[in-house]
Chain A
Amino acid sequence: MKVYISGGCKNGKSMLAQSLAKKLAGEAPLYYIATMIPHDNEDNARIAKHIEDRDGWGFETLEQGRELLKCLDNADANGTFLLDSVTALVQNEMFREDKIDLTAGRRVSEDMAEFAGKVKNVIMVSDYIFGDAERYDALTEGYRHALAMADRIAKECDLVVEVLAGNYIVHKGELYL
């Protein structure tokens, strides 16, 4: 099963994703694809909070900030994968040390499509950053566009849920908890 979850920040996306992952996994391996590459103490604190939230859920963590498909080298494709988050993946693929890659969105989308075709279950978590009234600079706008392009994989998923203040808006498929 392929699941796509998006919505606002700190609205409960990760909790829903973890619950669904646990349920889908059954006795098979359960993987958490950690995508954040920490740059400062704020990042470290955020990661620590996520690790604490996952404690006792039975996830094996795969560190993969870029090149998503590589994490399959060390994992069982019959398992259930929680990818949290698409946003961080796009960010890491776009803002490279040596260059800015504006094709990152499409590439992440293609990687996720290939990944989803290879594994039994995958739950992808993204962020909805498309509803505000700012006039952004070209780079920020490029980043928003890239993430939106990555999000288009949602159409190919079995279940698409928007999380809003802990409530679930189902855009595709049916959500059983």
Chain B
Amino acid sequence: MDLIIGGAYQGKLEYAAKTYNLKQTDVYVCAEDTDIDFDKKCIYGIEEFVMYCLKRGISAREVLEENKPKWENSVFICREIFSGVVPVDVLLRTWRDETGRVLTWLSKEARTVTRLFCGIPQKLK
């Protein structure tokens, strides 16, 4: 799995599409109310998948671990949401924490980690 991270609007998907030659149909866009589709080549918005799991009281990491054979050659894209002020809202606060933990684990699992900053990629791993 190749992991692409970065803040909001930093060009993560644009970079993934170009680098991995992705078509729109190759990308699963995570949303807090729909099931993840691990058969897609690119999973966009891991942070939204974390929110999806939180809302259902399940562990994002466990779901990811169970499905690992399906995504070993995928591209994962996650937004950095751990800077800034700690949110007052408990759900947003838990989301922020949980996304940080999941992403730290995914970074270890990943073959490569790339961070986008102002549209510029930086190889972290």
Contacts from A to B (Cβ < 8 Å): 4, 6, 8, 126, 128-135, 144-145, 148-149, 151-152, 154-155, 160, 162, 171-172
Contacts and interface: CB of A to CB of B under 8 A. Distances in A.
Contacts of A6: 117-118
Nearest to A131: B83
B112 interface: no
Nearest to B7: A130
B119 A134 contact: no
Interface of B: 6-11, 80-85, 87, 92-93, 95-96, 99, 117-120, 122
A17 to B, nearest CB: 15
Contacts, number: 68
Contacts of B96: 133
Nearest to A148: B9
Nearest to A136: B8
Nearest to B118: A154
A58 B10 CA distance: 35
A160 B95 contact: no
Interface SS majority for chain A: mixed
Contact of B7 (A128, A134, A154, A155): A128
B82 A131 contact: yes
Given A128-B7, A131-B7, A133-B96, A151 B119 contact: yes
B84 A132 contact: yes
A15 B93 CA distance: 33
A171 B83 contact: no
Nearest to B93: A133
A108 to B, nearest CB: 14
A144 B84 contact: no
Contact of A134 (B6, B11, B92): B92
Contacts of B10: 130, 148
A39 B95 CA distance: 35
Contacts of A154: 117-120
A131 B84 contact: yes
Nearest to A162: B117
Contact of A160 (B9, B82, B92, B120): B120
Nearest to B80: A131
13 contacts: A128-B7, A129-B84, A130-B8, A131-B83, A133-B87, A134-B87, A135-B92, A144-B8, A152-B118, A154-B118, A155-B120, A162-B117, A171-B117
B95 A133 contact: yes
Contact of A149 (B9, B82, B87, B117): B9
B118 A132 contact: no
